[in-house]
Structure 1
Amino acid sequence: MLDVRRLRLLCDLSRLGTIAAVAEAHTYTPSAVSQQLSTLEREAGVPLLERTGRRVALTAAGRVLVAHAETVLAALEQTSAALAALGTGLSGPLRIGAYPTAVRALIPATLVALGQRHPGLELMVTELDPVDVPAALRERRLDVGLLHDYDAVPVEPDPTLDAVPLLDETVFLAVPADGPTDSLAATRDATWILASPGTLCHTATLQVCRTAGFTPRARHHADDFATVLALVAAGQGVSVVPQLAAARPPAGVRLIALPTRRRTRIAYRHGAATHPAVAAFVTAIRATASDTVN
């Protein structure tokens, strides 16, 4: 009988590429991961890994097992969902991951609605950058999470997860209210407030500006949109902010709509869509998003 926990390790090795990365993802030691994979090979009865020095690659049998393991893991999620649906009421933990703007603008009202309808749920929220959500879902640290991307820099869907749309937001150019700027092109020589290099917001802003024919000149870096808007109001530069973060801009900020959109999706593991707690969260946060953005 093949052990499900070891199958997950093999799938993670296929995705992450190294035993060290798998060990880090699961807070194991590399030797512990190696031992578990060796045991899985004995259970399978065929070699699953090819070792060359410190490098490890999946054999043909290993790749076949990974493909079937993904199906098995999705089936287990569906089974858990079916069993949960037989209960008389929702109870137990629901672990939610969301990016900071959503935690501020969407999650509180969603938690209130869920708590009123399903008082047996133990709702737990973790603030995460969207790039960290897929791994947290795969490693079962989350049950549901929010992802986003920009149409200017689309992100390929994670093949190990399912996702449904939540928001499609306008993106705004935020400029000082007393300034003459009336378009993105007019900010060519302005100073900019950018997100930290390497973040999706930073990459999206660079791409939006490059499409307009220039590279923004950064003076400040800030990842919290409330801070960004405060800096704009203080005349420290211009920036790009999504609609969810710009609902109540401070005095001294003028917003100019851009053709760019930010798209948010609700993600969960394959097979978890019909889990009553996941379905309840999707319904509640969609209602909150509709009331907040529309």
Structure 2
Amino acid sequence: MLDPRKLHLLRELSRRGTIAAVAEAAAFTPSAVSQQLSALEREAGVPLLQRTGRTVTLTPAGRLLVEHAQAVLEQLERASAALAAVRGGPSGPLRVGAFPTAARVLLPPALATLAAAHPGLVPMISEIDPADVSAALRAGELDVALVHEYDFVPPVTDDALETEPLFAEPMYLTDRPAIAAAAGDPWIAGTPGTLCHTMTIRACQAAGFEPDVRHHIDDFDTVLSFAAAGQGVALVPRLAALSPPSGVRLTPLPLHRRTLAAFRRGYGEHPAIQAAIAAFHEALAGLSL
């Protein structure tokens, strides 16, 4: 019988690439992960890993088992959700990840709704960059997370996760009538590697130039403060520009950011996840977006 916990480690190895990365995510030692994967190979009866020095790759049999592992783990999530529904209303810890603007604007009214409707739920919020959400959900560090995607940036797909669209919001340019008009200006963008940074670079490239990024800032309140001080132009979403500083002019653009709720595949029927998503929608209905 194949052990689902070991299958989870094999799936994580296929995604993270190294034993050390899997160990860090699973809060195990690398030695413990290696032992678990060796035990899985014995259970499977075929080699699953190819070891060359310190490098470990999956064999064809290993890759085949990962494909089946995803289906097994998804069914276990469905079983967990079904059992939770039988037990009654949602209760217990609910670990929610969110990017900063959603945490500041959307989560407070959503949490108030949850507290009133489901007092047995205990939400625990963590700010997290959307780029890190997939790994955190797969590792069980989060139950549900608010993520976003931008025009010009293809969404990151993960077959271990499902998403539910929540809303779309326009993007604004600070203090210029169009992106092309800011070709000679200093720019404020997110940290390299974030979706916000990639969106800014590609939007400028689509307008025919490479932006001169002077400042790398992830918090949009700070971005707007820098723009108000004349330190550069920036692209900001509507959710971050509900109360801009005085002196900052915002030009709406035909670009959008879309926010989604993400959760492990098969887990969407869990009463706590359904309650959270319902609260997100109710909070959005009360916002002027």
Q: TM-score range by the shorter chain?
A: over 0.9
Equivalent runs, 1:109-124 vs 2, <5 Å: 109-124=109-124
Equivalent runs, 1:64-79 vs 2, <5 Å: 64-79=64-79
Give distance in 2, aligned partners of 1:99 and 1:210.
25
Q: Which residue of 2 aligns with 1:236?
A: 231
AA at the equivalent of 2:278: T
49-58 or 112-121, which deviates more: 49-58
Q: Does 1:183 align with 2:178?
A: yes
Give distance in 2, aligned partners of 1:80 and 1:221.
42
Gaps of 5+ in 1: 176-180
Shift of the alpha carbon at 1:250?
1.4
AA at the equivalent of 1:123: P
**TM-score relative to the length of structure 1:** 0.94
Give distance in 1, aligned partners of 2:232 and 2:48.
55
The count of aligned residue pairs is 289
Q: Which residue of 1 aligns with 2:199?
A: 204
Equivalent runs, 1:249-264 vs 2, <5 Å: 249-264=244-259
Give distance in 2, aligned partners of 1:182 and 1:54.
54
Q: Which residue of 1 aligns with 2:270?
A: 275
- Contact 1:182 1:256 (8 Å CA) reproduced: yes
Secondary structure of residue in 1 paired with 2:93: strand
The correspondence for 1:193, drawn from 165, 188, 192, is 188
Shift of the alpha carbon at 1:293?
4.3
- Contact 1:243 1:293 (8 Å CA) reproduced: no
**In structure 2, do the counterparts of structure 1 residues 78 and 108 end up closer, same or farther at CA, with 3 Å as the change threshold?**
same
Shift of the alpha carbon at 1:116?
0.5
207-216 or 276-285, which deviates more: 207-216
- Contact 1:266 1:282 (8 Å CA) reproduced: yes
Shift of the alpha carbon at 1:111?
0.6
Shift of the alpha carbon at 1:60?
2.7
Q: Which residue of 2 aligns with 1:178?
A: none
Give distance in 1, aligned partners of 2:80 and 2:61.
28
Give distance in 2, aligned partners of 1:193 and 1:69.
43
Q: Calculate the aligned-residue CA RMSD, in Å.
A: 1.4
AA at the equivalent of 1:270: R
Q: Which residue of 1 aligns with 2:8?
A: 8
Secondary structure of residue in 2 paired with 1:237: coil
Shift of the alpha carbon at 1:219?
2.9
Secondary structure of residue in 2 paired with 1:141: coil
**TM-score relative to the length of structure 2:** 0.96
188-197 or 259-268, which deviates more: 188-197
AA at the equivalent of 1:287: E
AA at the equivalent of 2:75: A
Shift of the alpha carbon at 1:66?
1.4
* Runs of 4+ residues deviating >4 angstroms: none
Q: Which residue of 1 aligns with 2:284?
A: 289
Give distance in 1, aligned partners of 2:242 and 2:25.
37
Gaps of 5+ in 2: none
**In structure 2, do the counterparts of structure 1 residues 86 and 222 end up closer, same or farther at CA, with 3 Å as the change threshold?**
same
Give distance in 1, aligned partners of 2:171 and 2:107.
21
Give distance in 2, aligned partners of 1:275 and 1:166.
18
AA at the equivalent of 1:173: L
Q: Which residue of 1 aligns with 2:49?
A: 49
